[in-house]
Amino acid sequence: MSETTLSAVHARYRPLLPGILLALTVAAAARFVADHYGAPVMLFALLIGMAFNFLAVDPRFKPGLEFSSKNLLRIGIVLLGARITTSDIASLGISTFATVVGLIALTIGTGFVCGRIFNKQWRFSLLTGGSVAICGASAALAIASVIPHNEKTERNLLFTVVSVTTLSTIAMILYPILFTALGLTTSQSGFLVGATIHDVAQVVGAGYSISTDVGDVATIIKLLRVAMLPVVLVIIVLALAGQKRGGAKSVRLPLFVVGFAALTAVNSLGLLPPVAAGFAVDLSGWLLVVAIAALGVRTNMKDMLQLGWQHVAMVVTETLVLLTLAIAAVEIGLAG
């Protein structure tokens, strides 16, 4: 690499370092709290980041914070593909697979119905419905990356991440008690844990708190939901393209969506060594936390407090509908 090229790279990326380092510091603090006190890392990355909101307008930090909340976020989403293999999905059977896909579709549909009831825009309906249906904060971040932005996008994204993470934590405590009280089998309990709790970490915590077998089933079900994320993103992109251009001929999928799907395919074919897959998953976790931390720094708490009760009601309603539908599916023998 020539000296001129190195100088150009240095000039381009040096202004990003202060903001990236700030987001990384907040992420590390959130990781420390999560590892030592069992706290939800995404939630604490947001809350700690908000405490540094006064730095968001500082020209030294602003470029790096924007880079972290957008570019690093997309890289983190791509690396999520290393979690998923088609063999895990195939082991579930057609009925369970179809049930999970149906639950995702119905939950997203519930988001749009709630949006009409509570007079919210389609962006917020899609954001909350998709995050509840698929994989919590990660899905919210990915969906927000492909929908058109307006002045409310970042505020709604932050609210969605806070709400689904909080509800996931509550569910991690309450759902194992509920499912045990219902006298369900191992496979039924595993299905319900994996199909109804929003975030991966809380699914793992809830599943293995019941038993190892339940935890194994719950993790596979949850990864199936994660595997549907690129499919949902493609559908969103195609739908938006059709609305804007009157057709989907000139659709260009975002590169991170293509990368996510490609890495999933590579991992499914067994071409990704286990060590590399583990590294990719760990790095993805860090990058997503750094992105959330950057979003937290850029979020004004005053704006968050201006959100009405309808926002909370929407996410709670979507969560309860998903739980009810999943229990009904188990009771009539469609899954578990």
Task: Tell me the pLDDT of the chain averaged across its residues.
Answer: 83
In degrees and rounded to multiples of 5, residue 254 shows phi and psi of -55, 140
Checking if the pLDDT of 24 tops 50, the result is: yes
The predicted-structure confidence for 246-301, as pLDDT tens digits, reads as follows 544 444 566 777 787 788 888 888 888 889 988 998 898 889 889 888 878 887 66
Please tell me the predicted confidence (pLDDT) of residue 247.
45
Which of 316, 187, 204 shows the shortest CA–CA distance to 179? Answer: 187
pLDDT for residue 89 is more than 70 = no
Average pLDDT over residues 120-145: 89
Q: What span, in angstroms and rounded, lies between the C-alpha atoms of 120 and 126?
A: 10
- Ranked by mean pLDDT, which of 124-128, 181-185, 295-299 comes out on top? 124-128
The better pLDDT of the pair 53, 334 is held by 53
Token pair of 163, please? Answer: 């709400």
Q: Find the radius of gyration of the CA atoms of the chain.
A: 20
Distance CA 234, CA 229 (A): 9
Band of pLDDT at residue 4, cut at 50, 70 and 90: low
Q: What is the mean pLDDT of residues 4-24?
A: 77
Asked whether the beta carbons of 222 and 326 are under 8 A apart, the reply is no
User: 310 vs 111, which has greater pLDDT?
Assistant: 111
d(CA 128, CA 115): 10
Decide: 207 and 191 in contact? Cβ < 8 Å.
no
Question: 139-156 in b/e burial notation, b at 16+ Cβ within 10 A?
Answer: bbbbbbbbbeeeeeebbb
First to last CA, the chain: 56
Q: How far apart are CA 46 and CA 137, in angstroms?
A: 11
Domain boundaries, the chain: 82-284+301-331
The average pLDDT across 47-58 equals 86
Q: What is the pLDDT of residue 8?
A: 59
d(CA 85, CA 178): 30
- pLDDT, position 248: 43
Q: Give the dihedral of Cα atoms 292, 293, 294, 297; nearest 10 deg.
A: 120
